[in-house]
Every structure is written in structure tokens, then in C-alpha cells.
Amino acid sequence: MLNYLKTGSGNTTLVLIHGYCENNTCFTEQVLFFKDHATVIAIDLPGFGSSPSKAGITIEQMAELVQDVLAHENIQECILIGHSMGGYVTLAFAELFPSMLLGFGLIHSTTFADTDERKAKRLQVISFIEENGKEAYIKNFIPGLFAPTTSKEISSRAISEGLISDAEGIKAAALAMKDRPDRSFILKQTNLPVFFGIGKLDALIPEQAMFEQAAMCNKAYVAYLQKSAHMGMMEESIFLNQEILGFINLANLNK
């Protein structure tokens, strides 16, 4: 079973899924805030944090492993929010287990499949790690996720946590992201409220692309993080927390 942190005792269960080369500690500020408002579960995906890597893992299998955690905790319904790669897992979960969701959300993520260019870059990541090691990759990759004005202390903490990642897990996750399908149909079909955390300065997931995806939804809740690049959970945690709290209240009204 995946490693996870559980805290809080609220009636609503908030499940948080981290992104690529992260672990559940990227949500430390959210965990500390929401433990007084909900039951919070923050999960380490395979190969990250304290969860062992799994060769050949797919995004769909990651979603099934998340469901295993919820079944173990006897959780029947939740709000699931994923950051970046965690958003891909969230969308797969929404396709596989829609009845378990009160709402779901994407922070700096996308429903679309990789372009051919992006797929080529995933393979380049694998080659780079094989030639130079995971440490060189992490130290090169993580700083670019933050806005130039973000404290170096924050980005340094993200690098330290990223270095915990398993090299095989990083490579397996890159392949899983490369091969994931387009799931924009989920946004068009669902009647659940969908949360979007959008970074104005995000170079990986441009703001316009996320606003366009929010427009696909019947019920979209948008948090526009104007000082954030790709790491709004750490860059604008106070604002993001308040926005997620508003979304939780909306999702509960939607029952």
C-alpha cells in the first residue's frame, strides 16, 4: 500500500495528491490548515516519498492505488485534489471511481494528453537521469517550477524533498505521464464541482490553457494565483487554502 499521512477528524475527507518529483510534504501548509476543517489524507505516489517504486506503473494504476488507501481507511466519499502529475491521477480516479467523489480539483495541471514534443521531453528526462543521476536532474528541474520572486528557502526545501524520490520511480512516472490519454471529456461530462488552481506565472501549464479547461465544466471553481508559477501550494499557500476551503463548502452543498 502507498505511504500516506492522515490527520484531522472533520466530516469531509480531503485527499491530496502530489506532483512529479514531489511527495506529500509539498502539501504541508494545506495539511496544517485543513486538519481543523476536514479529515486530510496526503498520499505518496509510487517511487516518491516513502512509497516504493513500481516498474511499468500507469496513471490509471496510480489512481487504483489511491483508491486502495481510501478503502483501507473505509472512506466512501471524498474531495480529491491533485497537483500537476497528481492532477492526472485525480482525473483517472474521476473516470474510474466517480461515485466516490464530492468534487475534484487540478492545481497546475491539465486534462490533455502530452503532445509529441512533450512526449519526446519525457524520454529525454529518462536519458538524462540514466546518464547524470537523479540528483543532477532534481537540482536542475525543481527551481524552474517557482516564480523568480519566491523565497529560495522554499525552493530549497522542495529540492531536498525531491531528492528523496527514487530514480526508478522518477523514470517510471515520466513514462506513465507520456502514455496517459486525453481526459477532457471528464470535465465536459461531470456534474461535480471542479477546482482549478491556476498560476499566472506557470511556464509548464499556461494560465490560458487552464482557464479554457475550466470553461468546459458545468461547475468550475477557479483560484487565480497571481504570484505563483507551478507551485502555488508553497508559493501562495494562505490564499490557496482559503480558496480550497470555499470549494469544499461548495462541494458539500452539491451533495
Q: What is the 3-state secondary structure (H, E, C) of 22-62?
A: CCHHHHHHHHHHHCCCCEEEEECCCCCCCCCCCCCCCHHHH
pLDDT for residue 253: 82
Q: Are the C-beta atoms of residues 16 and 27 closer than 8 Å to each other?
A: yes
pLDDT for residue 125: 98
Give the end-to-end CA distance of the chain in Å, rounded to a whole number: 30
C-alpha cell at 185: 471529456
d(CA 73, CA 51): 17
Please report how many Cα atoms fall inside a 13 Å half-sphere around the Cα of residue 168, on the Cβ side.
8
Q: Are the C-beta atoms of residues 146 and 154 closer than 8 Å to each other?
A: yes
Phi and psi torsions of 135, nearest 5° = -60, -45
Reading across the β-sheet that carries 220-225, which strands appear in turn? 4-7, 39-43, 13-17, 78-83, 101-107, 194-199, 220-225
Structural domains of the chain ordered from first start: 4-253 (3.40.50.1820)
> Which residue is listed with cell 500516506?
4
C-alpha cell at 243: 480558496
Name the burial class of residue 216, with classes exposed (0-12), middle (13-18) and buried (19+) by CB atoms within 10 angstroms of its CB: middle
pLDDT for residue 232: 98
Q: What is the mean pLDDT of the chain?
A: 97
pLDDT for residue 39: 98
pLDDT of 255 > 80? The answer is no
d(CA 230, CA 197): 10
Contacts (Cβ under 8 Å, ≥6 apart) of 106 = 81, 82, 87, 90, 91, 194, 195, 196, 197, 210, 213
Q: Are the C-beta atoms of residues 146 and 231 closer than 8 Å to each other?
A: yes
> Which residue is listed with cell 490509471?
60
pLDDT for residue 254: 76
pLDDT for residue 217: 98
List pLDDT tens digits, range 20-65. 999 999 999 999 999 999 999 999 999 999 999 999 999 999 999 9
> Which residue is listed with cell 476543517?
37
pLDDT of 202 > 90? The answer is yes
Q: Are the C-beta atoms of residues 80 and 4 closer than 8 Å to each other?
A: no
List pLDDT tens digits, range 114-160. 999 999 999 999 999 999 999 999 999 999 999 999 999 999 999 99
